[in-house]
Amino acid sequence: MVALDLPTPSATRPDRMTGRMRLVLVVLLLAQFMLAVDFSILNVALPVIGQGLGFTLGGLQWIATAFALAAAGFTLLFGRVADLVGRRRLFLGGMALLGVSSLAGGLATGPGTLMAARVAQGLATAAVTPAGLSLLTAAFPEGPLRARALGLNGALMSAGFTTGAILGGVLTDLLSWRWAFLVNVPVALAVLLVAPAVLKESRPAVRPRLDVPGAVTVTGGLLALVYGLTATGEHGWTDPTALTALAAGAALLTAFVLVERRAASPLVPIHVLRRRTVVWGNLAGLVAFVTETSLVFLMTLYLQDVLGFSPLAAGLSFGVLGAGTVLGGVAASRFIGRFGARAALVSGGLLQAAATLALYGLGDDRGSLALLLAATFAGGVGNMLAIVGFMVTATSGIPDGEQGMATGLATMTQQIGITMGTPVMSAVVVTAPVLLDGIGRAVLVNAAIVAAGAVLSGLLLRRT
C-alpha cells in the first residue's frame, strides 16, 4: 500500500487555524486576559484595603505603583530572557509566580505582605506578557492568521482592563477585597495544568550570553522613569524627587543605547532599533496606550466627581468602552488583511481622536451620559484598531529567535503608556480652577496627541 502525502488543512487554507492553533490561542488569551484584569481589579478596592490592613492615605497609591514599577521595569529584560532560556519555560514560571503571589496577597494580614505580593504580581506580569506574546507570534505565521490572533489578544486585553474595574467593585461589595487577589489562583492553576501539553518550547539552538550591562541600564532606567512619572502624578511636575528620577531614567536609557552598540550579544540589537517598523510602530503604540488609559482616568473623574456616580456605577459605565474594544479587536484582522497595518494605525487613531474630541461637549448634568457612552464606544473601536496595528507592525519581519525581544519591546511600550497617561493628564486638569474645565482641557490635549500620532504613522511608516 502506498501512503499518500495529503496536504494538511493549514497548507490548503493558510488563512484558517488548525485545532492545535485554537488550543494555543485559548491558553494564551486566557493568561493575557487574567493579567489585564489583574492590572485594574484593585483600583476600586483600594480604600477598603487601606482600612482593613492599616495603610496610610499616601501609602495606598503604592499598591498600584509597586505593581507598575515591576511590570514595566523588567518586561524588556524578561522578553529577552524568554528568547534565551525558552518562552514556554518562562511563561509557566511566571504563571506559577502569579498564582502564588495572588494567594499571598489574598491572605495578607499587613501592608508588608500585600506590597510584596503586588511586586511579585508585577514581576509575573513582566515575565508572562512578553513570553506569551512571543509564543503567540511564533505559533501563528506572519500574515492574516497572526493579525487575527493579535486582534483577539488585543480585544481581550483591553476588555480585561474594563472587566477588572467592574469585577473589583462587585467582589469588594459582595464578598471581600481579598477575592480581587484570590480569583487569580484557580485561573493560574488551570493554565499551568493545560499549557505544558499545548504549548511547544521555542528557543535558539545556540544560547547566546545575556547582556548584563544592558540589562542593568535598561531595567534601572525603566524603573526610574516609571517612578518619576508616578511621582509627578502625586506631587506635580515641579517635585524635585520626580524630576531627579526622570533625569536618572533618561540618563540610564541613553547609557543603554551606548552599551548596546558595543555589546557582543546585545539585549536589543541596534539593527532592530533601526527598523522603521519597530521604532515608529512602538511610538504609535505608546500614543494609543497613553491616551486611552488616561481618558478612562478623565472619565472616571467626570463620572464620580462631576456627576456624582459611585465607583461601581462608574466602572459599569465603562462596559460600553469594553464592548467597543472587543469589536475593534475582532474587526482589526480583516481590516489589516485588506488595507494594511499602517492604515489601521491611521484610521484607528483618527476615529479615536474624533470620538475623544466629542467628549469636550460634556456638561455638568447626567444628560451628557449618552454622549459619553457613544463617544467611548467609538473611541474604543478606534483605539483597539490602532493597538492591533501597532502589534502587527512592531513584530513584523523579526526572526523567530528575536520574537521575545520584539514582544518585550512592545510590552514595555504598553506598560509605560499605561503608567504615563494618568500623570500627564492630571497635570493638565489642575491648570483650571474648575474641575469640569480642567477635564475639558485634558480631553482636547488627549485628542490632539492621538491625531498627531495617527498623522505621523501615515507619514513615517511605509505602506505594507
Total-model pTM = 0.72
Cα–Cα distance, 411 to 129 (Å, whole number): 7
All three cell numbers of 210: 545575556
pLDDT given for residue 56 in this prediction? 64
Cα–Cα distance, 426 to 154 (Å, whole number): 26
Cα–Cα distance, 172 to 167 (Å, whole number): 8
Cα–Cα distance, 365 to 377 (Å, whole number): 20
Cα–Cα distance, 226 to 221 (Å, whole number): 9
- Write down how long the chain is: 464
pLDDT given for residue 405 in this prediction? 66
Residues of the chain with pLDDT under 70: 1-15, 43-47, 56-61, 142, 154-155, 158, 165, 202-210, 233-234, 236, 272, 311-312, 397-405, 408, 462-464
pLDDT given for residue 378 in this prediction? 92
Q: What residues have CB less than 8 Å from 344, skipping those under 6 apart?
A: 332, 335, 336, 385, 386, 388, 389, 392
pLDDT given for residue 109 in this prediction? 84
pLDDT given for residue 353 in this prediction? 94
